[in-house]
Each structure stands twice: as C-alpha cells, then as structure tokens.
A and B are shown apart, each in its own frame.
Chain A
Amino acid sequence: MMYVKAFLVGGVICALSQVLIDRTRLTPARILSAYVVLGVILSGVGIWGPVVKFAGAGATVPLLGFGHTMAEGVKTAVQEQGFLGAFTGGLTASAGGIAAAVGFSLLAAFLFQPGDRS
C-alpha cells in the first residue's frame, strides 16, 4: 500500500513539474531550485511532515523532500547550537544525500559517456 501512495504522490509532484516545463518559461534549473525552496516552506509551516508520513519516499525523494530535510535539520541544529544552527543545520542534515549525489555522479562519469540525444 505504501508503494501505491509513494507512487501517486511522487508522480503528482513530477507531473506538476512537467506542466511547468510545458506551460511556463521556467528552465529545469529554476524548477528544481523552486522545489527545494517550496519544500523548506512547506516543512516550516508543518505541511510536509504529514505528507512524508503518508507517502514515504514519494514525498522525500523529490526535491520538496530535500527542502524538508534541510528545514528539519535547521530546526534540530538551532535547538542544539542556537543561532549558529541556522547556518549549520541545513547542510548537516542533507550531507548524506549531497555526498551520495556527488559520489554516484562521479562514478557514472567514469563508467559512462553521455549518449547523443537523437
């Protein structure tokens, strides 16, 4: 059942970004950045937490989830370190994800060449 919920919620998020590509002049980079920021906002106002409980990976894998992770990280760090936590929290919480992205990208670059788009 969790798989179905994850698929539906994740799918809706991706479909929304496709609509943005088709209907607006936003570049992929802008959409991705907007999703991170939106995730931070939705997490801050308490909406995204419940969505994560409901849909699991469907809510954490898309970049809204990344923003959520950063926001949660800032909350924890501020509780522990005070004002400094506003600076350290976001990256600390997402360090694993970022390192994985860099590491796997590097591995992929060593192993594969980009295909020609045609």
Chain B
Amino acid sequence: MSRVGDTLFFENPVWVSTWAAAVGTKEGQGPLGAYFDYVTRDNRFGKKTWEQAESRMVELACEAALAKVGLELSQIDCALGGDLLNQCISTGFAARGLGLPYFGLYGACSTMAESLILGTVLVSGGFAGRTLCLASSHFCSAERQYRYPLEYGGQRPPTAQWTATACGAAVLQQEPTAVRVTAATPGRVYDPGITDANNMGAAMAQSAYETLRTFFRDSGTGPEDYDLMVTGDLASVGHGVVQELFRRDGVVLGDRYQDCGMMLFDQSQDVHAGASGCGCSAAVLCGRILPDLASGKLKKVLFCGTGAMMSPTSANQGESIPGICHLVCLEGGL
C-alpha cells in the first residue's frame, strides 16, 4: 500500500468477493430493475415504521450478499455502513442483527464509497480478513428526515430529487476474486456556495471534479483509461457542471462519464430531477457495476460517491451546501 498525494494505491489489491442490492418497488420498476437481488413488493418491508423498513432492507441486502457465496456472518471480521437518518439509526439498528464489530459512517450519499475505502484499508492493512461494506436510504424515512413526514402531504417541486429506497452491500477480502480495488481517493470537502437544496447536484459537482482531478494527477492517468466513471447522484445539472469544469481544463470526459442518479430511474417514473440517497450509488454499484466488472464487460471503473454535507438545520439557517466526493478504482478480470 502506498500513497501519492491524496490517493491510496493498493499494490496488493483488496478483492470484492460478493455483493447484493435490495431495493424498493419504484427502483424495481426502473431500467435496472432486473439486476437487483431483492425487489420488495411492499416498501414497508412488513414493518410498522419506515425506519424499521429501511433496517429490514439492510438486513436483506446483507443476507443476499453472504448467501451468494455461502458465507456466514461469523466469517466477516467487521462491518462498515451508514445512511441518511439522524444518528444513522437504520443501519445502526440493522447492525444489532449483524453482531459484528461495526463502524457507523456518515458521508451523505457518498457513504458507500467511503465505506468501501475504509473497508479496503482495514483489509489491506491486515486488520481484517473480510469486511462487509454497506449503505442505505429509504424514500419515506428520508422525507421525514429532510423535508416533512409523508402525512404532511406536501407537493414536490420539479427540481426535487427522489431519494432511492435501496441498500447495497459488498464484502471485501484478501483472497483473489474476479473484482479488485486497486486505488482510492478520499475526498476533501468543497463548498461552491450554493444554498438551494433543490440544486444539490451543482453543489456536489465541484467536489466530484476536484476528487477526479486529484486522482488523475496522483495516478498519472486520464478519463480515456477507464471504461466507466460514475458519480453518485449529481443528476443532469451536476453531471453537466462536472463535464464543463473538465472542459475548461481541456479534458473531455465523454460518454464514459455517467451518474447513478440518472441511471436508477426512467423519466416516465416522474422522479423529477433523478435519484439521490446513499442507496442510489450503492445499489447501482452492487446491482450493475460489480457484476459487469466480474463478467469482464467492464475492466476499469471509477466509482465516485458524492455527498451533500448539509442538514435540515443548516438549510434553515441559510448555510450553503458543502460537497464531498470519495473515489474508488475498481478493476475486473484476473
């Protein structure tokens, strides 16, 4: 393991042995529906509250990931996860059932990438043989958290994003498999001064640009070296801002640069500006990207989780929205 600039390089790679995504009904009806391991028929997941439903969804994602390769929880050394709720209760309460040493994380919608980076560091440093990395979000619990409870019946503006009901879980290990983590760039927090919570994509775009730029500089590579570079949930506005920022540097990202928030739902699903939430990038990664790396359809991918580090309190106090972007470099094929 070595470090150049902000980027960590894992010369002895850490391997991704299994993954799974559990999602809600709307996500199951979207363009990636067939790729998810568990699509619920009931967004309550059989529970009384939305928060309990999200915890249940986390359990289902973990169970599915472990079952795929016949792993028991006792074979995992620690878990790292986070979500959007106050005090991260949905993943925290799900961790009760895991019974593993547990790190609760908060990176807003970048939590999956953050979890993967820290999980990789633990395995690479020999502190864990296997880590379970996860992140989740649920539309209904997020509405209560950030806006109003559903009972309030408020109308969503056209620029609103739809918090994905989804959880992605992946296991990292020391033994070789089809997919590996070869590098990671922990992000720094950037604040372009945007105060509009309906324009979070633009608020996070700067951090995505900075982290990608830092990685390209530290690794001596460019966009042309990767089959896919994907941000978490910048949506169309933020996606365009990132492309424009690179264009000013004379760098063209091209079609290989996509955004999970734009991939999860179809325009016909009336989600306004696209998907957001920790579960968005986690589910797209575990449902689509990791399998494509394992099958060889993709060879080198940059998974860039993006998060808006704001709270309802900061928004009410008129604060701007800082953003962060964590980058994980994943490679497929042996």
Which residues of chain B are near A27, meaning CB under 8 Å? Answer: 154
Which residues of chain A are near B24, meaning CB under 8 Å? Answer: 118
Contact A116 B155, beta carbon cutoff 8 Å? no
Contact B158 A22, beta carbon cutoff 8 Å? yes
Contact B196 A117, beta carbon cutoff 8 Å? no
Which residues of chain A are near B150, meaning CB under 8 Å? Answer: 114-117
Contact A116 B157, beta carbon cutoff 8 Å? no
Contact B157 A21, beta carbon cutoff 8 Å? yes
Write the A15-28 contact mask toward B (1 if CB under 8 angstroms, else 0).
Answer: 00010011001011
Contact A118 B158, beta carbon cutoff 8 Å? no
Which residues of chain B are near A117, meaning CB under 8 Å? Answer: 139-140, 143, 150
Partner of B149, one of A18, A114, A118: A114
Contact B157 A114, beta carbon cutoff 8 Å? no
User: CA–CA, A76 to B108, complex, Å?
Assistant: 53
Write the B121-148 contact mask toward A (1 if CB under 8 angstroms, else 0).
Answer: 0000000000000000001100100000
A16 to chain B, nearest CB (A): 13
Contact A118 B157, beta carbon cutoff 8 Å? no
Contact B155 A21, beta carbon cutoff 8 Å? yes
B26 within 8 A of A: yes
Contact B43 A118, beta carbon cutoff 8 Å? yes
Output the residue of B152, B155, B196, B198 with the most chain A CB within 10 A. Answer: B155
A46 to chain B, nearest CB (A): 32
Partner of B139, one of A21, A28, A118: A118
Which residues of chain A are near B26, meaning CB under 8 Å? Answer: 118
A12 to chain B, nearest CB (A): 17
Query: Interface residue count for B (Cβ, 8 Å)?
Result: 19
User: CA–CA, A114 to B140, complex, Å?
Assistant: 10
Contact B198 A118, beta carbon cutoff 8 Å? no
A105 to chain B, nearest CB (A): 9
User: CA–CA, A27 to B139, complex, Å?
Assistant: 19
A14 to chain B, nearest CB (A): 11
Which residues of chain B are near A29, meaning CB under 8 Å? Answer: 154
Write the B58-93 contact mask toward A (1 if CB under 8 angstroms, else 0).
Answer: 000000000000000000000000000000000000
User: CA–CA, A18 to B149, complex, Å?
Assistant: 20
Output the residue of A109, A114, A118 with the most chain B CB within 10 A. Answer: A118
Contact B25 A118, beta carbon cutoff 8 Å? yes
User: CA–CA, A94 to B150, complex, Å?
Assistant: 26
User: CA–CA, A29 to B312, complex, Å?
Assistant: 15
User: CA–CA, A27 to B157, complex, Å?
Assistant: 9
Given known A-B contacts A25-B196, A25-B198, A116 and B154 have beta carbons under 8 A apart: no
B213 within 8 A of A: no
User: CA–CA, A25 to B158, complex, Å?
Assistant: 10
User: CA–CA, A20 to B50, complex, Å?
Assistant: 30
Contact A22 B43, beta carbon cutoff 8 Å? no
User: CA–CA, A51 to B314, complex, Å?
Assistant: 41
B46 to chain A, nearest CB (A): 13
Contact A116 B196, beta carbon cutoff 8 Å? no
Given known A-B contacts A21-B155, A22-B158, A116 and B43 have beta carbons under 8 A apart: yes
29 residue pairs bridging A and B, Cβ less than 8 Å apart: A18-B155, A21-B155, A21-B157, A22-B157, A22-B158, A25-B157, A25-B196, A27-B154, A28-B152, A28-B154, A29-B154, A109-B151, A114-B150, A114-B151, A115-B150, A116-B25, A116-B43, A116-B139, A116-B140, A117-B139, A117-B140, A117-B143, A117-B150, A118-B24, A118-B25, A118-B26, A118-B43, A118-B139, A118-B165
Name 5 extra pairs, CB < 8 A, besides A116-B43, A117-B139, A117-B140.
A25-B157, A29-B154, A114-B149, A114-B151, A115-B150
The 3 A-B pairs at the shortest CB distance, nearest first, are namely: A118-B26, A28-B154, A114-B150
